[in-house]
A and B are shown apart, each in its own frame.
Chain A
Amino acid sequence: MASTTTSDAGPLLARRPMKTQGRWSFLTTVDHKKIGIMYFWTTLVFFALGGFEAVFVRTQLMKAESTFMAEELYNQLFTMHGVTMVFLVVMPLSAAFFNYLLPLMIGARDVAFPRLNAFSYWVYLFGGIFLYSSFFLGGAPNGGWFGYAPLSTNIPGNNMAFYAMSLQILGISSLAASVNFIVTIVNMRAVGMTFMRMPVFVWMSLVVNFLLLFSLPIITVGLIMLQFDIALGTSFYQASAGGDPILWQHLFWLFGHPEVYILILPAMGIVSEVLPTFSKKPLFGYSFLVFAGAAIGFIGFGVWAHHMFTSAIGPVARASFGLSTMFIAVPTGIKIFNWVFTMIGGKIKFTTAMLFSVGFVAMFTIGGLSGVTHAIVPHDYQQTDTYWVVAHFHYVLFGGAMFGGVSGMYYWFPKVTGKLMNETLGRLHFWTWFIGFNLTFGPMHMSGLLGQPRRTAVLPAGLGDAVVLYNLLSTLGAFVLIVSSLIFLVNLIKSIKSGEPSGNDPWDARTLEWMTESPTPEVNFYEIPVVAHRDEFWHRKYAEDEAGVLRPVPAGASEDHDVDAAVATDEHADDGHGHIHMPDPSYWPLVMTAAFLPFGYAVIYKSAPLLLLAAVWMFAGFYGWIIEPLAAGDDD
C-alpha cells in the first residue's frame, strides 16, 4: 500500500528506503504501529533489567545485617531500579500504547509527524543504552532516582553525571513525542470525532502529553544545572558558595509530581476502555471522568512540595501544599466511583484483561488512600524516608500503572496480532501477579510504620523481629513476581506463535480501532469512518428497541458501511489516485539520533573533538532529514 512514487532518481544517499516488510524495515519504519511494537519490546527488555535489580535489592534485604552485596553496589541497583522503571519502562510503555492506538482510535492513518515519531523511539533506545553503559564505565548512578543535591553533585566519579545526561536525552525523546501526539489528537481526528466523542484513553493521553510538555523543560533546567555543577564546578546547588540545594528539590518535584500523573493517567485511560467493554455497559459518567482527568492535569502542577514537607520550606507552604494535595484526591476519587458504577449492573465477563483492570481499581484505591495520608503534614514527618512511602508508590505505580498496562496488553493483543492470548495462562499470570504484588508491597506498609528506613543497604536487626519477618515476606513476594512474569512471557511468545485466531472484534468492543481488520492493515482504515456517536462502533452494531433492550443492527443497515463493505470498496475508498498514500520510511531518524551517544559521552568526558563530531553528525542528520525526497503531493 505504500507509495511507490518517491525518488526513482538521485544518488544513493538522497533516496528513501522503500522496504515496508520484513525485519530490516523496522530500522527505517515511520509506521506508528511498528514503532509502537518496538517501544513495547524495548520496554519489556528494560522491565526485565529493572526487575533483576529489584530482586537483587530484595535478596539483600531478605535477612537482617545481610552481607550479600557491597553497599556501593546496592546504591547503584536501587537507583537504577527506580530510574529504569520510571523512565525506561512505564513512560515508554505508555508511548507504546499511544503510538499503536491513538491514530486508530481517532480514525487517522498515522501520527502527525511520522519521522519525528521514529526519532522519539530511537532517542529513547539510545538514551537507555547510554544509561546502562554506565555500569561498564565506572559505575551506574547511585544517588537515588530523584538525585538530591548536594549528594548528587558531590559523589565522586561519573555516576550521577550519567544520570543527568541520560535523563536529558530521554527528555528529548518524550518532548518530541508529546508535541507529536498533541498535534495528532488535536488536529487529525476523523470527521465527527469531536472532543467529547473521543475515547477516554485518547483524553487521558492528551492530558499526559500536555503534562510532559510543561514538566519536562523544568527537569531539564534542573538537570542542566546539575550537570554544570558536576562537570564544570559551578555552584547552583552548593550551599557553601551561596547556592541552594532546595532549588533542585523544587525543580525536580515540579516535574516529579506531574510525572506521577504522567505514569498513571495512561493506565486510567486503558482501564476506562476495558471496564465498559467487559461490563457490556457504556462508561459511567464519561464527562466526569474526562474533566476529572483534566483537573488532575491542572492540580498536578500545584502539589509538588508535598514531597518536601521535611525540607526547609516554611509552615505556610506546608499548609497550602497539604491542602492542595487533599484537593487532588477528589478528581481521583471521582474516577474510582466512575469505574465502580460502570461495573455495577453490567454483564461482567472476567477475561484476563478485565481481571487486571479490576485489580487496578482495587490496588490503586489502596495506593491512593495511603497517598492521601501524606497530605497530613505531621503524619508525613513520621513517614518520610520509610518503607511506608515505598509501599505507597508501588501500590500506585505497580498496582496502578503496571496492572493497567498489562490489562491493555491482554486487551489489545488481538488487535496487534490477530490472535488471542491464552486465557488459562492469563488467569494464572493474574493471580500469581496479584498475590506476588501484595506479598511484596503489603508488608512494607507495616515495616515502614515500624520505622524501617528507605535506601539503606543493611536492614538493622535492632528494628525488631516483626520488621525482619515483613522483609522476608517482601522478598518471597518478589520471587513470586518473577515466576509470574515468566508465565506472562511464555504466554506472550506462545500466543504470538500459535494463538487462536481472534477475528476482527473478539471482545465486542466499542471504539474505532476494532472497526478495521485485526491485525491492523498498514493503512489502518481502508475508508476513514465518519463518527456520529461516542462509542461509535458499538452504535453501529447495536440499537435499542422500544423496551430498551439491545438489538444487533443487521450488517449494512447502519448509516455507514460495516467493516466488510469498507474492505470490499477498497479501490474506490482512497485519495482518488488509485492507492492510499502512506508516509515513506526514512533512514534519518536512526542516523540522526545515534549522534546522541557521542554527544552524551562528550559531555561526560569533556571531550571537545567528540562534541564536535556529535554536532556535525547531528547537523548532517538534520539536513539529510530536511532534503530527503518526498512523494509527489507530500508537503513536508
Chain B
Amino acid sequence: MSTAAHETTLGVDHRKLAMWVFLGSEFLFFGAFISTFLLYFKETNGGPGVELFDIAFTSVSSFILLMSSLTMVLAHNAHAHRDMRRLRMWLLATAMLGLVFIGGQAFEFTTFYKEGLTLATSPMSSAFFVLTGLHGAHVTIGIVLLLSTYALTKTGKITPEQDVKTEIVGLYWHFVDIVWVLIFTVVYLIPYDIVVFGG
C-alpha cells in the first residue's frame, strides 16, 4: 500500500526514502571492503600485487561507467517529461554502458588470472577480487533493474506518471557509480602510486 508522496509525513515517496535508507547501509558495506583492501594491498604472499593494474585500461572503463550516470539522468529527465520513447532509449544506453563496464571487468579478471593473481593467491588478491567482484555484482543487478524498467514500460506496468520508479533505479545506479569512483581512487590509483612510484 504505497501512498502518493503528498500523503506521507515528510512529503517524500516511501520507496524513494527506502532507497536512500538502503544506500546508507550499502556505503558501510563497501566501506568495510575498501578498508580491508587498504589493510592488505601490500600483503601479496609472494605473488603479484597492485603493480599488475593497468591504470590506462581501468581509466577508460571507469569513464564509461561514469558516462552511464549521464545517460541515467537523461532517462529520468525523459520520464519526467513523459517521453517514454526517449526514456526507453536512454535506459537501454545506460544498460549497454554498464554491460561494457562488466565486460571490461571480465577482461581484467582474466588477464590477472593469467598473470598469476588468483582469488586465493594472497590477502591482497582475495580482497581485490571480492571487493571488485561484489561491485560488479551490484552493477549487474543495476543492469537487471534497468532492463526490467525498460520491459515494464512496454507492458504498461510503469506508466508515464510514475517517473519516481525511474528515479529510484537511478538513485541505485548513481550510487554504484559513486562507489566505483571511490574504488578507482582508493583501490587502484593510490596503492599503485605507493607501490610502483613509492608514493
Q: Show the binding face of A for B, using Cβ within 8 Å.
A: 109-110, 112-114, 175, 178-180, 182-183, 186-189, 193, 213-218, 220-222, 224-225, 228, 232-236, 238, 241-244, 247, 251, 581-583, 623, 626-627, 634-636
CA distance A241 to B2 in the complex (A): 51
Q: How far is the CB of A157 from chain B (nearest CB, A)?
A: 20
Q: Are B1 and A220 in contact (CB under 8 A)?
A: no
CA distance A559 to B9 in the complex (A): 22
Q: Does B194 make an interface contact (CB < 8 A)? A: no
Residues in A whose Cβ lies below 8 Å from that of B124: 242
Known A-B contacts A241-B122, A243-B123; the reply to A113 vs B17 at CB < 8 A is no
CA distance A634 to B124 in the complex (A): 49
Q: Are A187 and B1 in contact (CB under 8 A)?
A: no
Residues in B whose Cβ lies below 8 Å from that of A214: 24-25, 28
Q: Does B26 make an interface contact (CB < 8 A)? A: yes
Q: How far is the CB of B35 from chain A (nearest CB, A)?
A: 9
Q: Are B17 and A234 in contact (CB under 8 A)?
A: no
Residues in B whose Cβ lies below 8 Å from that of A627: 152, 155, 157
Which residue in chain B gives the minimum CB-CB distance to A243? B123
Residues in B whose Cβ lies below 8 Å from that of A189: 9
* Extra contacts besides A179-B21, A213-B24, A635-B2 (14): CB < 8 Å: A113-B2, A188-B9, A214-B24, A217-B29, A217-B32, A218-B28, A228-B126, A234-B126, A235-B126, A242-B40, A242-B122, A243-B43, A582-B1, A636-B2
CA distance A175 to B22 in the complex (A): 8
Q: Are B45 and A224 in contact (CB under 8 A)?
A: no
CA distance A200 to B32 in the complex (A): 32
Counting contact residues on chain B (CB < 8 A from A), the size range is 35 or more
Closest 9 A-B residue pairs measured CB to CB? A242-B43, A217-B29, A234-B126, A221-B32, A583-B1, A217-B28, A233-B120, A243-B123, A187-B8
Q: Are A244 and B39 in contact (CB under 8 A)?
A: yes
Known A-B contacts A187-B17, A221-B33, A583-B1; the reply to A179 vs B22 at CB < 8 A is yes
- Count CB-based A-B contacts (< 8 Å): 123
CA distance A22 to B13 in the complex (A): 33
Q: How far is the CB of B65 from chain A (nearest CB, A)?
A: 22
Known A-B contacts A114-B1, A183-B18; the reply to A626 vs B162 at CB < 8 A is no
CA distance A244 to B119 in the complex (A): 17
Residues in A whose Cβ lies below 8 Å from that of B120: 232-235
B8, B18, B24: residue with the most chain A Cβ atoms closer than 10 Å: B18
Q: Are B29 and A241 in contact (CB under 8 A)?
A: no
State which of A183, A232, A247 has its C-beta within 8 Å of the C-beta of B119: A232
Q: Are A247 and B36 in contact (CB under 8 A)?
A: yes
Q: Are A187 and B10 in contact (CB under 8 A)?
A: yes
Q: Are A251 and B32 in contact (CB under 8 A)?
A: yes
State which of A188, A224, A233, A626 has its C-beta within 8 Å of the C-beta of B157: A626
CA distance A247 to B40 in the complex (A): 10
Q: Are A236 and B36 in contact (CB under 8 A)?
A: yes
Residues in B whose Cβ lies below 8 Å from that of A232: 119-120
Residues in B whose Cβ lies below 8 Å from that of A180: 18
Known A-B contacts A214-B28, A626-B157, A627-B157; the reply to A183 vs B1 at CB < 8 A is no
Q: How far is the CB of A371 from chain B (nearest CB, A)?
A: 26
Residues in A whose Cβ lies below 8 Å from that of B4: 635
B29, B39, B122, B126: residue with the most chain A Cβ atoms closer than 10 Å: B126
Residues in A whose Cβ lies below 8 Å from that of B130: 224-225, 228, 234
Residues in A whose Cβ lies below 8 Å from that of B134: 224
